[in-house]
Amino acid sequence: MSEISTVPLPGQTAYMEQGLSFGLGFGVYDPLDECDCMGAWQAQLEYFYKDWISGGVSALFFGGDLDRDAMIVYQRYRLNVRFHMASEEFDLYASPLLGFENTSISAFRKQVRGKKTDSEQRQHYWWDDDAEDDKADADSVEVKNDDCQKLFTLDGFSIGLALGGGYDLSDLFGLTGEVHVEYNFTKEFLLNVVPGVAFNLREVWPWAKRTLRSTWISFEVGAQKAFNKDIDGWSNTFFLGIQFGA
């Protein structure tokens, strides 16, 4: 395989001047302090038509127990076009995005935790001093759980813009980063910041050096902030992935 300049990019992809890139990542999604972590995976397919433009499609899935009251399955699909400004050591890009989100939240409070009968809820004794405190604590928990579920009210289409790039520190290591803003038609704004590091597996893998244009292993940490929902704090993602370019 002829030598070309490759630079790692966010989302398990890499700048290759021309060719087809496929990436796959597995990790963890950590919504908020009061929410449970969930498993996640994402995939990216991108075609480099010219050295200055590429287009691709990506998919993100995660699911699990959101909190003690609900389970969630979240799917996101994106189409993107990237406009590149590249050299042998770095690549910078701007990318408009078109996305589609689908969220399924299943409440299982009755099945798992059980629900008190009306008589049990009304029954109160004079020696039970903690009844009101317990109710206040329960109300506080409900508010926190509502914040968890507010993160996943995105459904339908979204549009956005991403600015990012990658830099080759050496023949073996690189840095990646991206900032993108999205608007979902549920009237929600999202800000994402995704830094990462990458290792050039192709340089130490003879088979990949003979047959592939690029092969990178990457680790990314993402931070996401939701606006317009009165939610405090940032949610985080952690992905370990691999990219193949042909």
Question: SS in 3 state form for the chain?
Answer: CCCCCCEEECCCEEECCCEEEEEEEEEEEECCCCCCCEEEEEEEEEEEEECCEEEEEEEEEEEEECCCCEEEEEEEEEEEEEEEEECCCEEEEEEEEEEEEEEEEEECHHHHHCCCCHHHHHCCCCCCCCHHHHHHHHHHHHHHHHHHHHCCCCCEEEEEEEEEEEEECCCCEEEEEEEEEEEECCCEEEEEEEEEEEEEHHHCCHHHHHHCCEEEEEEEEEEEEECCCCCCCCEEEEEEEEEEEC
pLDDT at 112: 40
Residue 181 lies in a domain: yes
pLDDT value of position 63: 82
pTM: 0.81
- The pLDDT, as a whole number, for residue 142 is 47
Q: Which domain holds residue 133?
A: 7-245
Q: Which residues pair with 12 in a beta bridge?
A: none
Residues in the chain: 246
Asked, for residue 1, whether it belongs to a domain, the answer is no
131 within domain boundaries: yes
pLDDT confidence of residue 102:
82
Is 161 a domain residue? Answer: yes
Question: DSSP 3-state assignment of 141?
Answer: helix
In a domain, 46, yes or no: yes
Q: Looking at residue 22, which CATH number applies to its domain?
A: 2.40.160.20
Q: What is the pLDDT of residue 171?
A: 94
139 within domain boundaries: yes
Q: How many CA atoms lie within 13 A of 79 on its CB side?
A: 3
Query: Is residue 15 included in any domain, yes or no?
Result: yes
Distance from chain centroid for Cα 92: 21
Structural domain count, the chain: 1
What letter represents residue 137's amino acid? D
Instruction: Confirm whether 41 is domain-assigned.
Output: yes
Mean pLDDT of residues grouped by 10 in the chain (246 residues)?
A: 80 95 96 83 96 96 74 88 95 96 62 43 51 48 57 78 98 97 88 97 95 97 85 89 97
